[in-house]
Amino acid sequence: GENVEQHPSTLSVQEGDSAVIKCTYSDSASNYFPWYKQELGKGPQLIIDIRSNVGEKKDQRIAVTLNKTAKHFSLHITETQPEDSAVYFCAASKGGSEKLVFGKGTKLTVNP
């Protein structure tokens, strides 16, 4: 089955710096890669996703890149703010959201 590895497990940055979280997946049939943000005491919430026919996608300060050949995808957050502090999860699936395989998460801390 699919296996998703996520690094780093913790990341601490200064406000205004950029943050990068990387994930690799094992199943070449996976074609949908969402990123979820989980704030303390809440459920995960989708922040951005990318499909396998796209190499990069941006939404304001957040971007995701995908390298299908290397089977890895990354989340980039620019101009980080304290409210970006949360746990971030990458995931992979074969198109549907009924069966997502998640990475183990990255705890991002943005220091003011």
**Residues forming the site for other proteins (CB under 8 A):** 1, 6, 9, 32, 34, 36, 41-46, 49, 51, 89, 95-105
Q: Are 62 and 75 in contact (CB under 8 A)?
A: yes
Smallest distance, Å, CB 103 to other proteins?
6
Beta strands 19-25 and 4-7: pairing type? Answer: antiparallel
Choose between 3 and 18: whose C-beta lies nearer to other proteins.
3
* Sign of the Cα pseudo-torsion (46, 52, 53, 54, in order): positive
Q: CA-CA distance, 87 to 90, in Å (whole number)?
A: 10
Smallest distance, Å, CB 53 to other proteins?
10
Choose between 10 and 67: whose C-beta lies nearer to other proteins.
10
Choose between 55 and 95: whose C-beta lies nearer to other proteins.
95
Q: CA-CA distance, 50 to 15, in Å (whole number)?
A: 26
Choose between 19 and 33: whose C-beta lies nearer to other proteins.
33
DSSP 97: S
Smallest distance, Å, CB 44 to other proteins?
5
